[in-house]
Amino acid sequence: MDTNLTRSVLRDMKEYAQQHHVPIMEDEGMEELIRRLRQHKPARILEIGSAIGYSALRMAEALPDAVIDTIERDPERAALARNFMAESGCAQVTVLEGDALEFDAGTLHSSYDAIFIDAAKGQYGRFFNKYSPLLAEGGVLFCDNVHMHGLAGLPLEEVPKSKRTMIRRLKEFTAAIQEDPGFTTELSPAGDGLLICIKRSAGMKKKRPVVIGIAGGSGSGKTSVTNAIYEVYKEHSVVVIEQDYYYKDQSDLAFEERLKTNYDHPLAFDNDLLIEHINELLQRRPIEKPVYNYAIHTRSDETIHIEPKDVIILEGILVLEDERLRNLMDIKLFVDTDADLRILRRLMRDINERGRTLDSVIGQYLSVVRPMHNQFIEPTKRYADVIIPEGGQNEVAIDLMVTKIKAILEEHL
Ligand code: SAM
């Protein structure tokens, strides 16, 4: 494919869509879709709702080895899509004209590695029922516009009457897929809301690991809570993923620049990689956990091999800050400990274990740790299902947690 030509055809498509009010995917959602597709590397993609072929051509451009079938019921749009494909010299995309709900699925490939549903939003459930059997095990299904520009987040009574049935069906579909034991589902806020559902293999069905998020300020005792839960399940199957192993790789920055890293700020974390890894573990696939080297302020070359387990504990100061991470969690905990105890613990740790001076620990606490805690960590308390006061010393809270996790595990496994 000629990149410049494709780019210029894509620009023409966007312009056409704007002038003729053809709905095509928003940039942000499109980028997220492409990023995810690149991770999965599908050989065959099926799209429901081609419009004029914009998203199909974007997918073809990003995945030059993929074969894409796309179905569009509007004959004029289908014809335009074919013309744009021909103009760009793209031979990977086959535009099929017809109503996807009536389409003879027997004329399609018997299996696809990715399916992208982007047609009538009120019919997502029906598209899903008809086409998800064509998705290969481990394959990924995407649905765009699940937020419907905020309408899907409103109580139905507040949705304009003309859209109520569509929104009700969309909400029902979104809720059902999240409960479907055959899929691991994540809702990405990108664009207008992108649902990402990975089809579990037969052996993995009903075996979604439990994800427990444990947040709290530095020195709050979240590690004690983590360890207490770990101890109970260590014979069973538990893995701890610490968010601070996922600080961003900064190897492209000069050492002096890296020294300026604010490790208490949300932007210091590579949550994209962390999410990718949690999803892999949810798929019962192993990961290579990165290791961060604080001496050189960037990721080290070494990694730690982690096998999938039934319980995943995700622990870190800001694990509740990112909505995408929260959506992956079954239980969200916030360990809430008074600031005086937190600073005392931090002082003892940094002086005894890290050879720091009293002045430097206090200076760092006042200039970075405290303001970052108040601005970013403390507000995530509102997302927690349970707030545990006084961290690891709170045996009652820990017992309650252990009982709850057992109940979830029994349900899941
Ligand atoms: N995926 C396209 C893109 O981003 O470039 C945009 C698709 S647009 C949002 C939805 C398209 O689905 C419309 O062109 C509409 O005609 C088509 N559509 C709606 N219901 C359909 C159905 N039952 N079968 C096939 N196409 C359908």
pLDDT tens per residue across span 301-339: 999 999 888 889 999 999 999 999 999 999 999 999 888
pLDDT category, 260, cuts 50, 70, 90?
confident
- The whole model's pTM is what? 0.58
Same-domain pairing of 188 and 132: yes
pLDDT at 139: 94
Mutate to test the pocket of ligand 1, among 25, 55, 104, 118 (most ligand atoms within 8 A of CB): 118
CA 24–ligand 1 middle distance (angstroms): 9
**pLDDT mean over 106-116:** 95
Atom of ligand 1 nearest to the CA of 17: 5
Single out the residue in 204, 225, 245 at which a domain terminates.
Answer: 204
CA 55–ligand 1 middle distance (angstroms): 11
Report the CATH number at residue 178.
Answer: 3.40.50.150
CA–CA distance from 71 to each of 3, 27, 51, 78, 111 (Å)? 25, 21, 9, 8, 16
Q: How many domains does the chain have?
A: 2
Q: What is the pLDDT of residues 70-98, one digit of tens each?
A: 999 999 999 999 999 999 999 999 999 99
pLDDT at 270: 96
Asked if the model's pLDDT at residue 391 lies above 80, the reply is: no
Single out the residue in 150, 174, 204 at which a domain terminates.
Answer: 204
Asked if the model's pLDDT at residue 216 lies above 80, the reply is: yes
Atom of ligand 1 nearest to the CA of 25: 4
How far is the first Cα of the chain from the last one, in angstroms, to the nearest whole number? 47
Same-domain pairing of 194 and 228: no
Same-domain pairing of 162 and 254: no
Same-domain pairing of 279 and 301: yes
pLDDT category, 65, cuts 50, 70, 90?
very high
Asked if the model's pLDDT at residue 236 lies above 80, the reply is: no
Of 229 and 173, the one with more pLDDT: 173
| Residues at CB less than 6 angstroms from ligand 1 | 23-25, 49-51, 54-55, 71-74, 77, 99-101, 118-120
Atom of ligand 1 nearest to the CA of 100: 24
CA 314–ligand 1 middle distance (angstroms): 39
Same-domain pairing of 361 and 265: yes
Single out the residue in 175, 204, 233 at which a domain terminates.
Answer: 204
Report the CATH number at residue 328.
Answer: 3.40.50.300
**pLDDT mean over 275-297:** 91
Task: Give the integer Cα–Cα distance in Å for 198 and 187.
Answer: 12
Choose the weakest-confidence range: 91-100, 206-215, 271-280, 371-380.
206-215
Task: Give the integer Cα–Cα distance in Å for 28 and 33.
Answer: 9
pLDDT at 368: 85
Mutate to test the pocket of ligand 1, among 21, 45, 69, 72 (most ligand atoms within 8 A of CB): 72
* 357: Cα separation from own chain's centroid: 40
Same-domain pairing of 51 and 119: yes
Same-domain pairing of 32 and 148: yes
CA 159–ligand 1 middle distance (angstroms): 23
**pLDDT mean over 220-247:** 86
CA–CA distance from 205 to each of 99, 120, 136, 180, 183 (Å)? 32, 29, 14, 10, 8
Task: Give the integer Cα–Cα distance in Å for 293 and 302.
Answer: 10
Asked if the model's pLDDT at residue 173 lies above 60, the reply is: yes
Give me the domain span that covers residue 351. Answer: 210-412
CA 80–ligand 1 middle distance (angstroms): 13
CA 146–ligand 1 middle distance (angstroms): 14
CA 402–ligand 1 middle distance (angstroms): 47
Protein residue with its CA nearest to atom 18 in ligand 1: 119
Same-domain pairing of 308 and 183: no
pLDDT category, 346, cuts 50, 70, 90?
confident
Same-domain pairing of 228 and 131: no
Q: How many residues does the chain have?
A: 413
Atom of ligand 1 nearest to the CA of 58: 5
Same-domain pairing of 217 and 353: yes
pLDDT at 1: 76
Same-domain pairing of 112 and 228: no
What is the 3-class SS of the chain, one letter each residue?
Answer: CCHHHHHHHHHHHHHHHHHCCCCCCCHHHHHHHHHHHHHHCCCEEEEECCCCCHHHHHHHHHCCCCEEEEEECCHHHHHHHHHHHHHHCCCCEEEEECCCCCCCHHHCCCCEEEEEECCCHHHHHHHHHHHHHHEEEEEEEEECCCCHHHHHHCCHHHCCHHHHHHHHHHHHHHHHHHHCCCEEEEEECCCCCEEEEEECCHHHCCCCCEEEEEEECCCCCHHHHHHHHHHHHCCCCEEEEEHHHCECCCCCCCHHHHCCCCCCCHHHECHHHHHHHHHHHHCCCCEEEEEEECCCCEEEEEEEEECCCCEEEEECCCCCCCHHHHHHCCEEEEEECCHHHHHHHHHHHHHHCCCCCHHHHHHHHHHHHHHHHHHHHHHHHHHCCEEEECHHHCHHHHHHHHHHHHHHHHHHC
Asked if the model's pLDDT at residue 136 lies above 80, the reply is: yes
Protein residue with its CA nearest to atom 14 in ligand 1: 51
CA 152–ligand 1 middle distance (angstroms): 19
Q: What is the mean pLDDT of the chain?
A: 91
CA 120–ligand 1 middle distance (angstroms): 6
pLDDT at 412: 58
pLDDT at 367: 86
Same-domain pairing of 283 and 268: yes
Protein residue with its CA nearest to atom 6 in ligand 1: 24
